[in-house]
Structure 1
Amino acid sequence: MSSSSLHRTQPEGIDYPVLVDRVSKDPVDQGSFKRRIAFAKHKVTSKDGWLGDYDYAWLCIPSLPFSKSNRKLPPFYSLDADLPLALAITSGLQHALAMLAGLITPPIIFASALNLDSATSAYMISASLIGSGILSLVQLSRTPLFGGYYLGTGLISVVGTSFSTLSTATAIFDAMYQDGTCSSTVGADDTTIRNACPDAYGKVLGTSIICSFLEMFLAFIPPRILKRIFPPLVTGTVVLLIGASLVGSSGVPNWGGGASNCETAPTGIFALCPTTLAPKPLPWGAPQFIGLGFLSFISIVLTEMFGSPFLKNISIIVGLAVGCIVSGAAGYIDGSSITTAPSITFLWVHTFKIGVYPPAILPMLAVYVSTTMEAIGDITASAELSRVDVRGVEFDSRVQGGVLSDGFGGFMSALFTVAPLSVFAQNNGVIAMTRCANRSAGRWCCAFLILFGILGKISGVFLAIPNPVIGGVTTFLFASVAVSGIRVLALMDFTRRDRFILAAALSFGVGDLLVPNIFTELFNGVKNPSSGLQGLFNSITIILSTPFLVAGIVAVILNLLLPQETDIPEAVSDEESDLEGQKEGISDVGTSAA
C-alpha cells in the first residue's frame, strides 16, 4: 500500500492522526514503526500534507471597514486533529508574534528601573523569549503525575511575565533604593540619580523561587473552591487596576519620552529625554515624542480597521514596526544596542546574584495568588475557544495542571534568570481568529520563541526602539489589560453587596493610582525599629502602595466576610443556570491581554 493510497481522518476519541486504507477503510496499525514512517512521508511529501483544505487567502486578504464578508470560514482544527504543516507553521508564527510585545516589555522596564547596561538588558530580553518557549512546552504537554494530577493544560497555553509581577517588582525596586539596598548618587542640585543595581533583580528572582511554592500548593486545591475565594468581583478588580496602574507608571511616561529621571528630575544627563547622549534628545513631553507615540498607536487602530486576519493578530508588532521605521528615518534610533548585541546567545550568558529580599516576600506571595487567578481565567478562555468542555472532571484536571505548571514555571523561570512566567492571554485571540486550536501550532510557536531568543541581534533591535514608540504601543497594551478587567466585572450581577465590595476595593486602589505616595511615610514615626520589624513595615508599605494588591486584599476579605444576598429567584431556568456556570468559569482575565 503506497503513501498515495492513504488519507487522514480524525475518528471520535482517537488522539493520534489515523491512516485509513482508501479501499478497505480499515485503520492502519498505529503500533507499526513502518506505518508511522509512511505517515510522516505522506505528510512531508504530499500537497495535502502541507496545505490541507485551509483557506489561506482568507487569512491574508485585508478587510474593508463597513463591509460584510460572505466568505465561508476555514475549518476548525481541534487539539489533536491532523494539521497541515503550512498551517501549523503559519499559526505558530502568529502566536509567537502576538506574544512578542508582552514578552519584551517587562525586561525592558526592569532594566530601565535598575539602570542596567545595554548588554545586560539585551540578554534579559533573550532570556525572556527562550524561557517562555521552553515553559510553554511544559504547559502544552499535560504530563500525568500521581493520583490523577497533571502538569500542564494540554491546550495552547503559552506563558510570559505577568504584568502583576511587573507592577509589584517596580514597587520593590523603589523600596530597595529607598532603604539603601541599592545605591543612589545625589547631584550638586540635590537631585537623586539611581545607580545600576543588578543585585536587586537577583533578589527578586530569589524571592520568586521561594514564593512559587505557594502557587504549586494552590494547584492541589479544587478549582471550584478557588473560584469561590476569587470570584469575578475579585479578579476583575485586580486586572482592572493592574492595567490602569501600568498605563500611568510606564505606558504614558514612556510615550512622553521616558519613565526615568528625565521626567521627574530633569538635570545633568537627564536634562533631556531619554538622556542628553541620545541622537536627538528632547524635553519630556515634546511634540515630536508625542507624535511618534501617536503614530504607533494609530497604526494599531488602522490595522484593526483594514488589516487581514493575520495582521490583526499581530497589530502590536505592526505598531512597533511603523514607529521604528519613521523614528529611524528621522534619526531618533541609537543603533549601538544592535551592533553590540551578540549574533547568538542563550540562557546564563549573564547571571545575577540570587538572594532574598525579606520585605518582598509578602508582596510576591500576593503576586502568585494573582497569577493563580489569571491562570484559571486564561485556561478557561483557551478551553472554550478550543471547543473543550469547561465543566467536569477533565476540565478541572486541566485547570489543576495549568496552575501547577504556572507555579513550576515561576520556580524554573527564576533559575533561567527570568521574572516569573505565567499563563498568557494573547494566544486566545489567535485561536479565535484562525480557528486553529491544534497543539502542533503551539509547538511551532515555542520553537519560534526560542529561535527569536537565541538570535541575539533581535533583542538588540527591540532595545533600540525609542521610548515614545514603546509608550504608544504599551499604553494600548496596558489599557487592553484594564478592559479585560472591566469585561470580567461585567459578568457580575452587581447586587448591593457586589457594589459595596467593589467600592471599598476601589477606594484603596484608585486612591493609590491618583496619590501614589500616600503610604510611603506611614511607619516613619516608629523610633529605632529592629531589622525584622523594619522589614515587615517595608512589606506592608509595598502592598499598600501597589494598587492591585491592596484592592485585591480588600475585595477578598470583604467577599469572605459579608453575607451573600438572600433575594434569590424561586425558580431558575436551564438557560439561566448555564449562564451562571459560565460566570463561574470566568474567561480571559489575563493581565497580558493584547
Structure 2
Amino acid sequence: MSDEHSITKDQPAAVASPSLRGAPHTSGARARLGRLAEKVTTREGWFGDYNYAWLCTPTLPFAVGGRKRKTMPPFYALDSDLPLLLALACGLQHALAMLAGLITPPIIFASALSLDAETSSYMISASLIGCGILSLVQMSRLHLFRNYYLGTGLISVVGTSFATLSTANAIFDAMYADGTCASTTAADGTVTRLPCPDAYGMVLGTSIICSFLEIFMSFVPPRILQKIFPPMVTGTVILMIGASLVGSSGIPDWGGGSNSCMSRPASGFFALCPDVSAPRPLPWGSPEFIGLGFLSFVSIIFTELFGSPFLKNISIIVGLAVGCIVAGAAGYIDGSSISSAPAITFLWVHRFKLRVYAPAILPMFAVYVSLAMEAIGDITASAEVSRVPVDGEQFDTRIQGGVLSDGIGGFLSALFTVTPLSIFAQNNGVIAITRCANRTAGRFCCMFLILFGVLGKISGVFLAIPNPVLGGVTTFLFASVAVSGIRVLSYCRFTRRDRFVLAAALSFGIGDLLVPTIFTHLFDGVKHPNKGLQGFFDSITIVLSTPFLVAGIVAAVLNQILPQEDKEEEEEELDTGIEVIDVEAHHTQPEKEKHVI
C-alpha cells in the first residue's frame, strides 16, 4: 500500500477516527465548489484563451484557395479545464452537427408506416431524448470489474443507426406483404399503406431480444473482433448502407416523396406528392421539387466554401434552414404538424406494443453485428482525433466499453420507444476542426439534445420540412456514409484475394440495390404449415433483400474461408501496383497531405 493511503503506527489515532474521516472529502468538495465559483465569476473561467474570432469568421471569397490561417486555437484534451462559453459553443455545435442524422430515421419510419403527425412528432422527440441520455452513458466510461468498462470515455455520441433504417424498411415491406399490416388497393392498382404503429412496436420488441448479441460480442477480445470483421468487411457494409439509403430514401424524397406518389398514379390520394392534401402538391419529379432539393444541396456546398469553422460543422442544418425558408415563402410548408405538437413532451407520451416479429430476428441479429463493426471503427476515429492512444490495453477497454454500451443502448432505446442507437461518426469532424475533445463539451451536447427533444414544437418544425428539402440534404448525408465506407476500404492492401472478396460481396450488394425485387419471390412457392419454418424463410428473404446485410455476410464468410496468398506472390503484386502509382506520381507530383479521420 502506498504511503499516501496507509496509516502507520506513529500516526495518532485521531487521524483514523470516524469523526474526521469525512474531512478530506469535505475539503475536496469545498475546493470543487471554489473552482466552480471562480469559473462562473471570472473572465478567464468564461472565455479562456480560445480564439473565438477564428471559430466564427467566414472564409471570404478571395481567400478561397489561399493560405490557411496559422492562428489556431489550443487543443483541449478529454478532461482539461474548459472555459464555460467554449463548452456551451462546442456542445451546441456537436448537437447541431448530428441533428439531421437524428431526425431523419424517425421521419422515414413514420412515413413508411403512414403514421399521423402527432405520433411522428413524438418519435422525433423520443429519438433526441434517447440519444442525449445514452450519449452520456457512452462518455462516462464506468468501471465494472477487472478490465471491463461501460462507455468509451470519449465524445462518443450516439444516434439512430442508418443500418437499422435500411433493415427496418425491408421488415416493414414484409409486414405489409404478409398481411401483418393492412393496405388497400385502388382500382388503378395503386397500393396505399394504412397506418401500422404495431409494426414499429414489433421492430422495437425484436430489437430488445437481439441486443444481447452485441452485449455478448463486447466481451470478446477486440483483437478477435477486428480479425473477424476487418476493414474489408466493415467498409463494404458501410458503403452499401449509404448507397442503399440514397436510392431508397434520399433521391425519392428529393423528387417529392418516397411513398406511393413516386409511381405517379393517374388518380387517388397519392396522384400528387407528397399527397393531394398537401399545400402545393405536384407530380413526383416536378422541377419545383428538384429545385428546392438542389437549393438545399448547393447551400451545403457554399457553406463549405465560405462558411466559418462553426458553420462548416453544421452545414447540413444550414442546408435545411435555407431550403425551409424558401419553401415556406413559396407555400410548400404545412404548419399543422407544428400546431399539433405539444409544447413540452417526454418519453412514453406515446407507447407501442412491444412484440417479437419472428422473421425480423435474423435480420436484426445481422444489424447488431454491423453496429458492433461500426462502433469499432468510430471509436478508433474518435480516439485518434482526441489524441489518445489507438492501441494498447487502454484502447482495447475503450473498444470493449463502447461495444457494450452500444448493446445495452439497443436494449434501453427500445424501452425508450426508439430503434437501436449506436455510435455516430459525424462528430469526429467537429473535434478535429474545433480542437476540442473535452467531455464537458460532450455533456453540454447531451443537454442540448435532451432539451431539443423535450421542446415538442421543435419536433413539429422538423416534421414540417418538405420532402424535397429533406431529400436534398439527406442525399448528401447518406452519400457521406458511403464515402466513409470507401475510406475504410482504403485501409485494405487490395491484393488479388482482397479484390475477389470485394467483387463477390458487391455482386450481391449492388445487384440488390439496382434490382430490389430479385429475391422477393424466392420462397413464393414454399408455403409451409409450420409458422416457425415459414418465419425462417421470411427472414432469409429480408436478409437477401437488404443490400448491406447480404454484402456483409458474403464478405465476412469469404474473408474467413479463402486462403491468404503466398507472401512472395502478394509482395510481387503490391510492387506492381506501386510501380503504377509511381508512374502517375511522376506526372502529377502531388503534395503530401495530412489526413485526419
TM norm structure 2 = 0.90
Cα shift at 1:31: 4.7
Cα shift at 1:220: 0.3
Q: Deviations over 1:407-444 (max 9, x none)?
A: 00000000000010000011101000100000000000
Aligned residue for 1:282? 282
Aligned residue for 1:203? 202
The amino acid across from 2:222 in the alignment is P
The amino acid across from 2:194 in the alignment is N
Q: Which moved more, 1:74-83 or 1:189-198?
A: 189-198
Q: 1:292–1:323: 8 Å Cα contact kept in structure 2?
A: yes
Write the mapping of 1:322-471 to structure 2, written as runs, cut at 5 A.
Answer: 322-471=322-471
Q: Secondary structure at the match of 1:153?
A: coil
Aligned residue for 1:191? 190
Aligned residue for 2:36? 40
Cα shift at 1:529: 4.1
Write the mapping of 1:179-258 to structure 2, written as runs, cut at 5 A.
Answer: 179-258=178-257
Identify if the C-alpha distance between structure 1 residues 142 and 489 changes in structure 2 by more than 3 Å, giving closer, same or farther.
same
Identify if the C-alpha distance between structure 1 residues 500 and 125 changes in structure 2 by more than 3 Å, giving closer, same or farther.
same
User: For the residues of structure 2 that align with 1:70 and 1:311, how far apart are their CA atoms?
Assistant: 17
The amino acid across from 2:53 in the alignment is A
Cα shift at 1:192: 1.4
Aligned residue for 1:320? 320
Q: 1:104–1:128: 8 Å Cα contact kept in structure 2?
A: yes
Q: Deviations over 1:328-375 (max 9, x none)?
A: 000000000001110000000000011000000000000000000000
Structure 1 residue 59 corresponds to structure 2 residue 63:
no
User: For the residues of structure 1 that align with 2:287 and 2:188, how far apart are their CA atoms?
Assistant: 27
Q: 1:508–1:551: 8 Å Cα contact kept in structure 2?
A: yes
Cα shift at 1:530: 2.1
The amino acid across from 1:217 in the alignment is F
Structure 1 residue 49 corresponds to structure 2 residue 45:
yes
Q: 2:264–2:284: 8 Å Cα contact kept in structure 1?
A: no
Q: 2:502–2:555: 8 Å Cα contact kept in structure 1?
A: yes
User: For the residues of structure 1 that align with 2:32 and 2:92, how far apart are their CA atoms?
Assistant: 26
Q: 1:280–1:332: 8 Å Cα contact kept in structure 2?
A: yes
Q: 1:252–1:475: 8 Å Cα contact kept in structure 2?
A: yes
Aligned residue for 2:11? none
Aligned residue for 1:137? 136
Aligned residue for 1:177? 176
The amino acid across from 1:116 in the alignment is L
Cα shift at 1:265: 5.4
Cα shift at 1:30: 9.4
Q: Secondary structure at the match of 1:378?
A: helix
The amino acid across from 1:462 in the alignment is F
Q: Secondary structure at the match of 1:268?
A: coil
User: For the residues of structure 2 that align with 1:115 and 1:504, how far apart are their CA atoms?
Assistant: 37
Name segments (4+ residues, structure 1) moved above 4 Å. Answer: 28-31
Task: State the percentage of identical aligned residues.
Answer: 74
Structure 1 residue 89 corresponds to structure 2 residue 88:
yes
Q: Which moved more, 1:37-46 or 1:414-423?
A: 37-46
Q: Deviations over 1:441-488 (max 9, x none)?
A: 000000000000000000000000000000000000000000001111
Cα shift at 1:80: 0.2
Write the mapping of 1:285-300 to structure 2, written as runs, cut at 5 A.
Answer: 285-300=285-300
Cα shift at 1:264: 2.4
Q: Secondary structure at the match of 1:301?
A: helix
Q: Which moved more, 1:559-568 or 1:207-216?
A: 559-568
Cα shift at 1:33: 2.6
Q: 2:264–2:283: 8 Å Cα contact kept in structure 1?
A: no
Q: 1:278–1:334: 8 Å Cα contact kept in structure 2?
A: yes
User: For the residues of structure 1 that align with 2:201 and 2:355, how far apart are their CA atoms?
Assistant: 6
Number of aligned residues: 548
Q: Secondary structure at the match of 2:184?
A: strand
User: For the residues of structure 2 that align with 1:147 and 1:29, how far apart are their CA atoms?
Assistant: 26
User: For the residues of structure 1 that align with 2:225 and 2:566, how far apart are their CA atoms?
Assistant: 22
Q: 1:216–1:408: 8 Å Cα contact kept in structure 2?
A: yes
Identify if the C-alpha distance between structure 1 residues 31 and 567 changes in structure 2 by more than 3 Å, giving closer, same or farther.
farther
The runs of 5 or more residues in structure 1 that have no matched partner are 1-27, 571-585, 589-594
Cα shift at 1:308: 0.2
User: For the residues of structure 1 that align with 2:140 and 2:565, how far apart are their CA atoms?
Assistant: 42
Q: 2:78–2:154: 8 Å Cα contact kept in structure 1?
A: yes
Q: 1:239–1:485: 8 Å Cα contact kept in structure 2?
A: yes
User: For the residues of structure 2 that align with 1:220 and 1:517, how far apart are their CA atoms?
Assistant: 38
Cα shift at 1:29: 9.8
Q: 1:29–1:35: 8 Å Cα contact kept in structure 2?
A: no
Identify if the C-alpha distance between structure 1 residues 398 and 344 changes in structure 2 by more than 3 Å, giving closer, same or farther.
same
Structure 1 residue 117 corresponds to structure 2 residue 104:
no
Q: Secondary structure at the match of 1:144?
A: strand
The amino acid across from 1:524 in the alignment is D
Cα shift at 1:528: 4.2
Q: Deviations over 1:100-144 (max 9, x none)?
A: 000000000000000000000000000000000000000010000
Q: 1:488–1:587: 8 Å Cα contact kept in structure 2?
A: no
Q: Secondary structure at the match of 2:567?
A: coil
Cα shift at 1:71: 3.0
Q: Secondary structure at the match of 2:321?
A: helix
